[in-house]
Amino acid sequence: MNKGLLGNDAGGLRRNARLHSAESGKEQRTYRVRSTISTSELAIVYAARSEEQEMKCVIKEFFPKALVRRGKDGSSVRRLSGVPHDKYEALRNAFINEAVLLKACEHPGVVRCIDQFEQNGTVYIVMEFIEGMTLAEMVGGRPDMIEPGFLYRTMLPLIETLEHLHQQGVIHRDLKPGNIMIDQEGRAKLLDFGSAVRFAESGAHPILTTAGYSPLELYSEQSKQGPVSDIYSLAALLYYCCRGTAPTDVRKRLFDDRLEPVSAGLKRGWPFLSRAIQRGLIVSPDKRCSSLKWFKAAITMEYVTSPSVRRKSRSG
């Protein structure tokens, strides 16, 4: 993903471009684009501002760059000739489904979907703007920054957010440090539902993976996927918190399943969490830890047995 691009350098909308949403029976809402935050193969993400509510927001534009081009007006999006209609529509419907799932999974730990509309021949999703930093920016390869108290106050609620998703029949399928935003109060918000699906629905799931964080079953369209798929990614996420690096990619572990122990070379042992992570990172989904409760219990034990908490309990 490319970051820090502005205007049409990324094929994106120009600065100060206006977008208009008008649902049936409601007043028109106007959003002004301020800058481009990031681009991917399928979308462009903008920092924007709602003119009516006078608040910052984030707008995601459907822009599969291999299939479309920006018009000469700098706004319109057109499908390239020769691109199969069914392929384009499948991607477009998957993009719209992100807004549908965000609304269905509304929760304090999930980024809020504010609006969704069509304009310029494409689709836009408007989401809340979160002041803070991603988990990737916070850890930055420095596991010494992470204490048991952080995991207890921030990652434990994230696990409860995952439980909420699974209760709604949804798996995220893209848990990674860059998709976890930590706000200014230390609360974790789950971002980017572009890969999320309802796991009970039949049919092929698109292959969208991240090295180190995606389980083996996500590398096949036909494989059975469910909550255990998110559990693998959660274990990889916690491994990253403890060590500052992602675990060895699952495809390499198919032939040589050597995984650097969580606590190897670290001052902190993580005795409880390391066992839960090890069980969560099992390659075979049938043998993998199948419940989030083990991670909740492990984080709680790391916290209550940490020296700072024990000192407080003795002094109290």
Q: How far apart are CA 289 and CA 169, in angstroms?
A: 19
Helix axes 227-243, 293-304, angle to 10 degrees: 20
Positions marked catalytic? 174
pLDDT digits (tens, 9 = 90+) for 94-137: 999 999 999 999 999 999 999 999 999 999 999 999 999 999 99
pLDDT digits (tens, 9 = 90+) for 249-285: 999 999 888 899 898 877 788 999 999 999 999 999 9
Beta-bridge partners for 2? 39
Residue 1 has pLDDT above 80, yes or no: no
What b/e readout covers 194-205, taking b as 16+ CB neighbours within 10 angstroms? bbbbebeeeeeb
Structure tokens of 111?
Answer: 């980024």
Structure tokens of 190?
Answer: 């789950």
Q: How far apart are CA 267 and CA 49, in angstroms?
A: 45
pLDDT digits (tens, 9 = 90+) for 300-309: 999 999 876 6
Q: What is the CA radius of gyration of the chain?
A: 21
DSSP line for 201-224: S-S-------TTTS-GGGG-SSS-
* Residue recorded with tokens 């909420």: 164
Q: What is the pTM of this model?
A: 0.89
Residue 25 has pLDDT above 50, yes or no: yes
Query: What structural domains does the chain harbor?
Result: 2-128 (3.30.200.20), 132-311 (1.10.510.10)
pLDDT digits (tens, 9 = 90+) for 176-212: 999 999 999 999 999 999 999 999 886 677 778 999 9
